[in-house]
Structure 1
Amino acid sequence: MKLQKISIIGSGAMATATAKVIYDSGFKNIWIYGIDNEELEQLSQGKNLKYFPSSTQIPHFNTSNNLEQILNNVAYIVIALPSKVVDVVFKQILQLTNNEVYIINASKGFYPNTFLSLQQGMRQEAKDNKYVKGIVSLLGPSHAEEIIKQAHTLVCLVNKDSNISKQVQPLFTNSYFRTYLVEDEIGAEIGSAYKNILAIGSGMLFSKGFGINTVAAYLARGLSEARKLNSFLGGQDTTLMGLTGLGDLIVTALSDLSRNYSFGYEFIQDKQKALQTSKTVEGLVALDNVIKIAKTNNLDLPIALSLYQIIYQDHNLDDIIKKLWNRNLKLED
């Protein structure tokens, strides 16, 4: 048994699933931080009924709503929060950390109020902090609902220096969970963010009754858009064909386990209801950032723009499809 203290920041589905992966990798001294006392109480009893059935096997974790207690003498910190709150919590973490740590980011999207990836934003915040030994992102095709059931899962640990990623790899290595190392931070982060956007659209298409031909065409052209943005920002094209790109796109855009897919599906059925429950839909945050980047830099991202128009400007999906269908014929890019 490995005795290093590991703290999970967040008590939601992915935080719980990630904690279980680490526990099953032989690290038993795990603490979970959250602000929902009912969730924390359940996690201390081996369950999290908000996200998983009562029959789900979850270890009995240490829990606390006191961030200072959670961070005292910690060796590894895993951040599993909605991207829109990462900056506030991360600044608190930096202030309270009192020994050398590795930080693993399990959130996806952009750093709040910036065009930076989450890892880039965290690194910028932590550049003068003497305790942070490295920041690694955990990205790839993974639904918490399947991880918790020990479904075989492959993801990536992302840092431009793979030697740093190797320091946290043992936490995520067991009989059902395996990681690869990726050094292209930009490509991995863009793939992880853009697939959330595209999943919203695939949910809309399925909700309207379109078939797999249409959805396949949509996702292929959407991936082409992601490649265009990735190239502009300096990422490597091959990364988008790996686990953090194509792999993550498949698992997110073709499954009702995805909040982004489910939001898109519900949006077509009942727009107002969907918008009322959209707080944890990462694709909406990513979409807003991508549109700002596209407008600022004159990038042609027609699918992202179309989704923005449907969600925020009341454009009709059928009219949007006709408009996209009538674009100039050209070579595939």
Structure 2
Amino acid sequence: MKHQKVSIIGSGAMGTAIAKVIYDSGYKNVWIYGIDNKELEQLSQGKNTKYFPETVKIPCFNTSSDLKKVLDNSSYVVIALPSKVVDVVLEQILLNLNSNVYIINASKGFYPNSFLSLQQGIRKASSKNKYVKEVISLLGPSHAEEIIKSAHTLVCLVNKDLNISKQVQPLFNNSYFRTYLLEDEIGAEVGSAYKNILAIASGMLFAKGFGINTVAAFLTRGLSEARKFNAFLGGKESTLMGLTGLGDLIVTALSDLSRNYSFGLDFIKNKENALKTSKTVEGLTALDSVIKIAKNKHLDLPIIFSLYDIIYNNQDFESIVEKLWARKLKQED
């Protein structure tokens, strides 16, 4: 069955890394779709220097900017795009399918212009398409920059039906990449989105000279807020202590490989410049979604609202930290 065609939608860092994982798992018929012809040409030659050093060698993939060609007779479609464009690109994917496929979502965040997770949004949008079998999410602690070097990586395949996830598990199984199966779609998506927000705060704290004690305090209390938000949406608390929660938080909030963490650092140094170059910072998109839901449902998420005020309402960082520190004493929740 490893002759089946796999279509990767997105020629960026994660799209490239996932393509390599699948190729190294024995599926050699991998196609990558993108809109940057220079990237596509490089990918066909075994490199992608926009995201990885020249010394990093990858397989020579089939590539095209023709979506119909990439999707033709495919068995698996992997979406590796910024969350804010998933809906627009998905619409084109659904129009160009001509074979039965599993859609595998590797993006993190919330579905654009909705209160839905990405998996929920993709499933709803594709529910009437006769070619889409099901939607599975690929989530967990994973930097593309490490995957591309074959660093040992463990993530989750997420679907409420474990038998469905098992159908795609062989695509992500090789000497350095392994997956667990997870049923809790909501919890996994919340953890994957929320950690990007907290990573921004972590970067800001380090940039301001706060020590690891303070960062640990804010990340832990931020995770507590994530538990509250997750419970409201119907996710399981235990999921936030697993790979898609705590695991993803560690790799994102404490590493300069993280765009969200790096954005937090850059924001403190030069706010205007950081915001100008923030198009691929998923934490900002997730922050906007969480704020909208929290306001609509009257949820008390002080760290999230404070971060929003710092970024968009010009609130003083040190004053916000002092305000949070002065909150009423209580039992840990």
TM beyond 0.5:
yes
2:151 aligned counterpart, secondary structure: coil
1:248 aligns with 2:212: no
* 1:69-148 mapped onto 2 (5 Å cutoff): 69-148=69-148
1:171 aligned counterpart, secondary structure: helix
- Stretches of 4+ moved more than 4 A in 1? none
Shift of 1:145: 0.3
1:17 aligned counterpart, secondary structure: helix
Identity over aligned pairs, percent: 76
Q: Counterpart of 1:26 in structure 2: which amino acid?
A: G
* 1:1-333 mapped onto 2 (5 Å cutoff): 2-333=2-333
Q: Counterpart of 2:207 in structure 1: which amino acid?
A: S
Whole-angstrom CA distance in 2 between matches of 1:135 and 1:19: 18
Shift of 1:126: 1.0
Q: Counterpart of 2:79 in structure 1: which amino acid?
A: I
Shift of 1:111: 0.3
Q: Counterpart of 1:273 in structure 2: which amino acid?
A: N
Whole-angstrom CA distance in 1 between matches of 2:130 and 2:167: 18
1:133 aligned counterpart, secondary structure: strand
2:135 aligned counterpart, secondary structure: strand
1:63 aligned counterpart, secondary structure: strand
Whole-angstrom CA distance in 1 between matches of 2:314 and 2:5: 49
Shift of 1:16: 0.3
Could you report, residue by residue, the CA deviation over 1:93-129 in whole angstroms, capped at 9, with x for unpaired residues? 1111011001100000000000100000011011111
Q: Counterpart of 1:64 in structure 2: which amino acid?
A: S
Could you report, residue by residue, the CA deviation over 1:256-288 in whole angstroms, capped at 9, with x for unpaired residues? 000000000000000011001100000000000
Whole-angstrom CA distance in 2 between matches of 1:260 and 1:161: 31
- Across the two proteins, how many residue pairs are aligned to each other? 333
Shift of 1:77: 0.4
Shift of 1:318: 0.1
Could you report, residue by residue, the CA deviation over 1:216-236 in whole angstroms, capped at 9, with x for unpaired residues? 001000000000000000000
Whole-angstrom CA distance in 2 between matches of 1:18 and 1:69: 20
Shift of 1:57: 1.5
Could you report, residue by residue, the CA deviation over 1:104-159 in whole angstroms, capped at 9, with x for unpaired residues? 00000000000100000011011111111111000000000000001100000000
Could you report, residue by residue, the CA deviation over 1:162-187 in whole angstroms, capped at 9, with x for unpaired residues? 11100000000000000000000000
Shift of 1:50: 0.4
Could you report, residue by residue, the CA deviation over 1:1-52 in whole angstroms, capped at 9, with x for unpaired residues? 8211101000000000000000000000000000000000000000000000
Q: Counterpart of 1:31 in structure 2: which amino acid?
A: W
Any stretches of 5+ residues in structure 2 without a counterpart?
none
Whole-angstrom CA distance in 1 between matches of 2:309 and 2:103: 37
Q: Counterpart of 1:120 in structure 2: which amino acid?
A: Q
Whole-angstrom CA distance in 2 between matches of 1:7 and 1:289: 29
Q: Counterpart of 1:214 in structure 2: which amino acid?
A: T
Whole-angstrom CA distance in 1 between matches of 2:164 and 2:92: 23
Q: Counterpart of 1:332 in structure 2: which amino acid?
A: E
Whole-angstrom CA distance in 1 between matches of 2:118 and 2:292: 17
1:28 aligned counterpart, secondary structure: coil
1:91 aligned counterpart, secondary structure: helix
Q: Counterpart of 1:291 in structure 2: which amino acid?
A: I
TM-score with structure 1 length normalisation? Answer: 0.99
2:7 aligned counterpart, secondary structure: strand
Any stretches of 5+ residues in structure 1 without a counterpart?
none
Q: Counterpart of 1:45 in structure 2: which amino acid?
A: Q
Whole-angstrom CA distance in 1 between matches of 2:77 and 2:58: 20
RMSD: 0.6
TM-score with structure 2 length normalisation? Answer: 0.99
1:154 aligned counterpart, secondary structure: strand
Whole-angstrom CA distance in 2 between matches of 1:60 and 1:127: 34
Q: Counterpart of 2:67 in structure 1: which amino acid?
A: L
Q: Counterpart of 1:177 in structure 2: which amino acid?
A: F
Whole-angstrom CA distance in 1 between matches of 2:285 and 2:303: 16
Whole-angstrom CA distance in 2 between matches of 1:285 and 1:23: 31
